[in-house]
């Protein structure tokens, strides 16, 4: 039911972990649905995402989308990062089963939340 690329990311997920003193942290999902994704970002002074990590509780699709979104966003600036959508994440994985498109395909949302978090922290300064 999953593509080879989904299974590859599930088996060898990229950028697992946390970033201490991250510039932005975004969390989406809830335990009722069974998926909770958290993404940490670190940007340099040119607003380029230098480091990104994730932690995810969830199914194969949740883990693979989290992993691939970190790969897609690394080295991108914030504007480019905001152009990444859940749909693009799924495409990058060669597609997801239909029933996973809405419940487990939230990694881009987590990324966007991390960017929002970063911006709101800046506004407070």
Site residues, another protein (CB under 8 A): 2, 7, 10-11, 13, 16, 27, 31-38, 54-63, 99-100, 103-104
Give yes or no: 103 in active site.
yes
CA 57 to chain centre: 13
> C-beta of 84: minimal distance to another protein in Å?
20
Which residue, 93, 108, 98, is CA-closest to 6?
Answer: 93
Looking at 1, 17, 33, 121, which residue is catalytic? 33
Q: Of 54 and 81, which has the nearer Cβ to another protein?
A: 54
33 is an active site residue? yes
H helices of the chain, in order, are: 4-11, 60-73, 78-82, 86-92, 100-103, 107-124
Which residues are catalytic, by number? 33, 103
């Amino acid at each position: 039911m999953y593509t080879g690329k989904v299974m590859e990311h599930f088996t060898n997920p990229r950028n697992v972990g946390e970033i201490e003193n991250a510039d932005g942290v975004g969390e989406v999902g809830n335990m009722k649905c069974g998926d909770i994704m958290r993404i940490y970002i670190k940007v340099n002074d040119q607003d380029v995402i230098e480091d990104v990590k994730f932690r995810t509780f969830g199914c194969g699709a949740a883990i693979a989308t989290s992993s691939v979104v970190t790969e897609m966003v690394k080295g991108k600036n914030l504007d480019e990062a905001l152009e990444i959508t859940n749909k693009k994440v799924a495409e990058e994985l060669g597609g997801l089963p239909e029933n996973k498109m809405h419940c487990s395909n939230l990694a881009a949302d987590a990324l966007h939340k991390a960017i929002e978090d970063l911006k709101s922290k800046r506004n407070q300064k």
